[in-house]
């Protein structure tokens, strides 16, 4: 055992290897430069902002006395808004239910089908719901229905992508287990796909419902029904009392839906 002598270090202690270049400060500086350029380009003058901030206090004080005289009409409008969100979400759910398995790489019957389904879902997500609402209003006239359709199409894209990604994360073995019994595509999806992601899927649906309630409340601005239009009108007429009341109604509803969906999600485990 004469190896011990080899453990002695060579004459001077070796120096540390050169420190790897840290590019982080470079990225940070570049980012700050970009931000500064943006501020310049948007012509955001800090003066206006400063005045604005000073005025903000005064401005928000105008909302101090909400005027609930028209409350019953507001609640009705909020009801329409909620209904619009519900129908839109259900429509999205139906579309996503059929498209998601096609858009999951490990389930899709053919790579071309997979790509087509993914692109379709991306397209549906990319179009802002407001644009879709405008289009549907042009085709169907004013009212909440075009709003519901617009929400449905847009969020179908999101829901479809979420579902598809969940389906792709399922252990391949579970799929093989059902496939090896001779099940065909619809059977595979129903027995190995959806049961495996049920909890996640419900969470996504609740999240989208939540999101649709928010969007539905502004769709009124383009004539697609609901409370948004009322708010636009009252603000335009500088009726801060009514605006405050409207905002509070919207706020209260959204908070209730938030709590309800969080509660539901906790109960699902």
- Min dist CB 176 to another protein, Å, is 6
Smallest distance, another protein to C-beta of residue 263, A: 15
State which residue, 71 or 247, has the beta carbon closest to another protein. Answer: 247
Name the burial class of residue 71, with classes exposed (0-12), middle (13-18) and buried (19+) by CB atoms within 10 angstroms of its CB: middle
Q: Which residue, 9 or 57, is less far from another protein as judged by CB? A: 57
> Which of residues 7 and 187 has its CB atom nearest to another protein in the complex?
187
Burial of 18 (0-12, 13-18, 19+ CB in 10 A): exposed
- Tokens read off for 180: 């090896």
Residues 6+ apart with CB under 8 A from 148: 84, 87, 88, 91
Picking from 215, 226, 208, 171, the residue whose alpha carbon sits closest to that of residue 193 is: 171
CA atoms of 38 and 202, how far apart (whole Å): 40
CB of 105 to another protein, least distance (A): 14
CB of 42 to another protein, least distance (A): 5
How far is the C-alpha of 99 from the C-alpha of 164, rounded, in Å? 8
The residue among 5 and 181 lying less far from another protein, judged by its C-beta, is 181
Q: What is d(CA 249, CA 73) in angstroms, rounded to the nearest whole number?
A: 11
**Phi, psi values for residue 211, rounded to 5°:** -65, -40
- Closest distance to another protein from the beta carbon of 208 (Å): 13
For another protein, give the closer residue by CB, 26 or 126.
Answer: 126
């Amino acid at each position: 055992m004469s190896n011990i002598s080899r453990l002695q270090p060579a004459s001077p202690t070796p120096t540390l290897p050169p420190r790897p270049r840290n590019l982080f400060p470079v990225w940070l500086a570049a980012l700050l430069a970009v931000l500064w350029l943006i501020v310049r380009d948007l012509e955001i003058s800090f003066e206006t902002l400063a005045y604005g901030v000073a005025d903000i206090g005064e401005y928000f004080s105008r909302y101090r006395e909400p005027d609930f005289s028209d409350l019953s009409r507001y609640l009705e409008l909020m009801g329409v808004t909620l209904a619009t969100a519900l129908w839109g979400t259900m429509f999205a759910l139906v579309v996503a239910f059929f498209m998601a398995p096609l858009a999951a790489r490990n389930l899709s019957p053919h790579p071309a089908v997979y790509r087509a389904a993914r692109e379709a879902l991306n397209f549906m997500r990319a179009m802002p719901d407001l644009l879709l609402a405008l289009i549907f209003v042009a085709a169907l006239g004013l009212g909440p229905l075009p709003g519901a359709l617009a929400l449905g199409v847009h969020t179908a894209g999101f829901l479809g992508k979420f579902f598809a990604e969940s389906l792709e994360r399922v252990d391949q073995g579970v799929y093989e287990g059902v496939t090896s019994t001779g099940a065909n595509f619809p059977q595979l999806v129903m027995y190995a796909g959806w049961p495996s992601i049920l909890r996640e899927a419900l969470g996504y649906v609740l999240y989208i419902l939540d999101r649709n309630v928010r969007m539905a409340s502004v769709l009124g601005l383009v004539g697609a029904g609901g409370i948004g239009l009322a708010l636009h009108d009252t603000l335009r007429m500088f009726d801060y009392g009514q605006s405050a009341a409207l905002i509070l109604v919207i706020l209260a509803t959204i908070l209730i839906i938030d709590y309800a969906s969080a509660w539901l999600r906790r109960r699902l485990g």
